[in-house]
Structures are given as C-alpha cells and as structure tokens.
Structure 1
Amino acid sequence: MIAGVNEKTGQPLALERVPKKTLSRDDFMLLFIKQLQFQDPMKPIENNEMAMQMALFSQVDQLFDLNQNFEKILELARDFSLSATTSLLGKTVKVKGDYGRVEGGKFLGAEFELEEPAQGVEVVITDEQGRLVKRLSLGSLPAGKHRVEWDATDENGNPVPDGNYRLRVILPGKNPQDTPSLLVTGRVTGAVLGDTPQVVVNGQLLLKPSEIERVFTESS
C-alpha cells in the first residue's frame, strides 16, 4: 500500500494498492486456503484434484528452495571471484597486448609467434607519447615462438626510465594488420570489482582474469 498527502489540504490521500510482480510461497498457500474456504459446498474439490494441487504446491515450494540455494551459490561464486581478482594485485602476469614494461631498469619481457619463416624482422619500441625509443633488428627468423630481447636502453645506449613501452613487430612486405600479436609480461596495477571483475595491467590494459595467460611467482 502507498499513501500520499494532498498538497492543498494536507490530508492523507487514500491508500493505493500496488500489486506484486512476483508471488511468494506464502501467497500460494494463501490462495490455496482461500480456494478451500470459498469452494462450492455442493461441488467440493475432488480428491484427485486436491492431490494434484497439493503436488503442485509441493513443487512450487521446492522451486523456492532451489532459487534460494542458487542465490547462495551465486553469491559464494561472486565472493570467490572478487577474492581471486584482488589476489592478483601486484602480480607479474603474461597477457596479450602491445605495451611491455620496464621495472628497476629491466624489461619484463615479451614474445611473439611466426606462422612461417620471415626475413628482416624488426621490433619497434616507442614510449607512451609515441616517440621512438629503439629499433631491434632480429634479422631472419624461422617459424615458431621468439622472445624479444631488449636491454631497456634507447638508440644511444642510455637506460630508459621505468614505465610502459609500446612494441610492434615489423615484417617487411606485410600489412600492419598481418603482423603477429605479442604476449607481454606486465604488472597487475589495479582491479575493477563489480558483476564482472577485471584487472588493470600496466596501468592501462583492462582484462578479465580469464584473459591472463600466466601468473608468475616471485621465484619464477
């Protein structure tokens, strides 16, 4: 029931009934009792019909119990997912992306895979402003996986500041869209908690925990 107040007279308005959108098990029981109270005494409910309605009520009651159990399971799963997501904070991970990371003067690492042999392969490294930092000439490479070996220095051999750097694999004669994607090693720097938890890698890449290829331990 909802009641309001007349703005002119200040008197309470008549109560307004708001129908329910869903029925509870108590509502079903109340309907069943009302049906028994107002049944036609000349045509009472048959035994088989009574048994059928009792069976249906039992099924409804079980469905309510199942719904409550499912809600508890979903809540537990959500709590576990949030806990697992927050436990990744600060971890070193391997993910698909094009931004590698330098920490403590060391490049954390990156790798790519060639489907066929290639010649004149290069890796171009730029800073977050798009300025060229270094070109790595890898020469001719066979098909397969290859690591990007970078000593975290610029073109002049000077150490670069810690931070994120974009890497692009260049294959002569290939369109940029056809170049291989990279797996970069980065740091989980944040988390977004909600219905679908996500992690922030290297301060900018937003991913689901399931998109992480590998989580490194301190020893590894």
Structure 2
Amino acid sequence: MVSQVKSIATANNPNTQRVPKKSLDMQDFIQLFITQLQYQDPMNPIENNEMAIQLALFNQVDQLFKINKTLDALVNMAKSLDLAYISNLVGKKVKVETNVGRVENGKFLGGEFNLDEPVNYLEIVIKDDKGNVVDKIQLNGLKAGNYKIQWDATDLKGNKVPDGNYLFSIIIPENTNKTITPTMIAKVTGAKLGDNTQIVINGNYTLDLKDIKELIGE
C-alpha cells in the first residue's frame, strides 16, 4: 500500500518527471535489450539468429565506446606533449616567415629573403611600430638566390634605434606586383593554447607552430 501511494505521488509530482537523455551509453543499450526480451510476444519470440545479430551489434557498440575513450586519452596526451614542447620554446629564437623584425640590446636579430629571379634594384624600407620610416637599404644587381638583410639597427641619421619591433617591406620598383615576405629571426615570448595552438613572437605577434622554419636556440 505504501509503495502504491509513493507511485501515485511520484506520478502526480511534475518535479520528478524523467528527463530524456541526449546520448546513450552501453548500459542503456543493454537495458533496452533486456526490456525487449521482457516484453516480447510469447507467440512470436525473438529468433536465435536475430538475437545473435543484436548481441553482435551490442559488442560493436561496446568496442566503439572503448575506441572513443582511447581516442580521448590520445588527444589529451597530444595536448600535454604540445604544452611541453611549447614551454620549451619560450625564450628561444626561431626563424619565421614574417615582415616583423626585432631589435634587442641595440642589435637586429637578423633576417633574410629569397629571389627566384634576378633583380636590377630593390629597396628594403624599415618602419617603426607607428609607421614612421626609420631606414632604407638599397641593393643593386642581385642574382636569383638567398640574401641576408644587413641592418646595423640605426636610423636614416645614423642614430641607434630603440629596442623593439620593426616592419620590413621589400620593394622592387620594376615589378611592384611582386610581394616578397622575408624570413626573420624572432624570439618566442609565449603561447596561446586551444584547438589551434599558436606561439607568440616578439611580444605580441601570433603564429601557428607550422610557421616555424627553423629553431635557432637562445
């Protein structure tokens, strides 16, 4: 009698309504199978081959759950490895394809660019973070190949520039449509973790890990 009263009270209490699941686990599939057996038609029971097929399907579902757990573990392990690798990069110098060059302790960390064909004349324009022209480098009669950017970290008047980031533009007057992005030596100063892990170079520029062309060291 007490159980009947509890059942009626539960049925009449809207706060105890069952909330449907958005996803099923292995236990749910087993419960469904047991319920199916309990309420099967005695005059038309599940045949042996049908039962065997359902059991085989349950086994496949169980294997899929195990595979998902394994994949989750591998993903977490990969994230841990990424974090360890990135932590080791902080403070190191790397080569990256960027227009941003860095001056530290009064010295330009370095940079280079590549020409796939001869150029009669080109100009490297260097600007500060406010867009002011700091210096210009003119080069003549260049063959196809790789060239280092030789800059003594001084301005147009020969004065030493302050430490910081500088924007390098490589201009070829005879072919203004051609864009050349140099490869600069940068310092890794941090990282942004997430689905797309990125490194921070020179204080405030973010790049993907795949953009690192070479690890130089301290």
Q: What is the TM-score with the length of structure 2 in the denominator?
A: 0.89
Alignment of 1:134-149 (within 5 A): 134-149=135-150
Q: Which stretch of the first structure deviates more once superposed, 32-41 or 78-87?
A: 78-87
8 Å contact 2:99–2:167 — kept in the other structure? yes
Question: Partner letter of residue 100 of structure 1?
Answer: G
Distance 2:203 2:24 in 1: 47
Q: Displacement, 1:35?
A: 1.2
- Structure 2: gaps spanning 5 or more residues: 1-12
Alignment of 1:114-133 (within 5 A): 114-133=115-134
Any idea what the Cα deviations from partners look like across 1:30-58, whole Å, max 9, x if unmatched?
01111111112222221111111111111
8 Å contact 2:94–2:217 — kept in the other structure? no
1:16 paired residue number:
17
1:3 paired residue number:
none
Q: Displacement, 1:13?
A: 4.6
Q: Displacement, 1:124?
A: 1.1
Alignment of 1:63-74 (within 5 A): 63-74=64-75
8 Å contact 2:102–2:164 — kept in the other structure? yes
Q: RMSD between aligned alpha carbons?
A: 1.5
2:101 paired residue number:
100
Q: Which has the higher helix share?
A: 2
> Is the counterpart of residue 55 in structure 1 residue 56 in structure 2?
yes
Question: Partner letter of residue 22 of structure 2?
Answer: K
The alignment partner of 1:90 has SS state of coil
2:164 paired residue number:
163
> Is the counterpart of residue 213 in structure 1 residue 213 in structure 2?
yes
Question: Partner letter of residue 73 of structure 1?
Answer: L
Any idea what the Cα deviations from partners look like across 1:103-126, whole Å, max 9, x if unmatched?
111111111111211112211111
- Structure 1: gaps spanning 5 or more residues: 1-11
Any idea what the Cα deviations from partners look like across 1:164-217, whole Å, max 9, x if unmatched?
111111212222x41311111111122111222111111232111111111112
Question: Partner letter of residue 193 of structure 1?
Answer: L
Question: Partner letter of residue 181 of structure 2?
Answer: S
The alignment partner of 2:43 has SS state of coil
Question: Partner letter of residue 75 of structure 2?
Answer: L
Q: Displacement, 1:23?
A: 0.7
Any idea what the Cα deviations from partners look like across 1:90-140, whole Å, max 9, x if unmatched?
111111111100111111111111121111221111111111211111221
Identity of aligned residues (%): 48
1:192 paired residue number:
192
8 Å contact 2:102–2:166 — kept in the other structure? yes
